[in-house]
Amino acid sequence: KKVGFIFDLDGVIVDTAKYHYLAWKKLANELGIEFTVEQNELFKGVSRKRCLEILLDIGQVKATQEQFDTWMVEKNLDYLAYIENMDSSEILPDVPRVLDYLKDKNIPIALGSASKNARPILKKVGLLSYFDSIVDGNQVTKAKPDPEVFLIAARNLQVDPEGCVVFEDAVAGIEAANRANMTSIGIGEENVLSDAHYNFKDFTEMGTDFIASLVQKNLA
Ligand code: G6P
Ligand code: MG
């Protein structure tokens, strides 16, 4: 049996959540809506469109289709400005160690992200070549917690879902991985990601022996 590893992008490989937050906050404030870091938690792993729906809901703001589309574009342009100069220094600690380990063992690696900006970000930080498949917001029709994104990634890697391990920082992402019958690893606060099969604060806490054990377990 084969194993495959699937990484979420935002909050797992790079800390872009802070840039998403700044861009949403700017739009929110323009619309007279307060937007807190806590509310930003609800936006993690969620599509751009769904984020705007939630934001307008929080602020009880009604929008025409035209306004809605304009605000989506505005938020993304602000976000793109924040990430324009991103480089490898923004890769989260020990991510390259884990990627190198998997590459060295010839284990297929995929990206499973809701972002439509995933590919340019991987390119900016210099990690594009690690990924055998990139599944992002441009290919997925059903957002996390729907398992679609991870199931497409597994199919692309030609690995059974049961043989896949998913790294996720979002509640919706852990649910998506569990619904796909994959092994879910929460990266972040254990109390937030309590449905994950395993939890780590970040990759520095994850020993190489643990990754080796996941490979063994998922081969069985
Ligand atoms: C990721 C982030 C979300 C973001 C979504 C869409 O899942 O965690 O916060 O809303 O991607 O990103 P995009 O770059 O397409 O606006
Ligand atoms: Mg994420």
Whole-number average pLDDT of the chain: 96
At 64-76, the pLDDT tens digits run 999 999 999 999 9
User: Two tokens at 56?
Assistant: 């307008």
- pLDDT of 220: 79
What atom in ligand 1 is closest to the CA of residue 113? 7
Indicate if 169 belongs to the active site: no
Indicate if 10 belongs to the active site: yes
What atom in ligand 1 is closest to the CA of residue 169? 8
- Report the complex ipTM: 0.98
Residue 42 has pLDDT above 90, yes or no: no
Write the residue with the smallest CA distance to atom 14 of ligand 1: 115
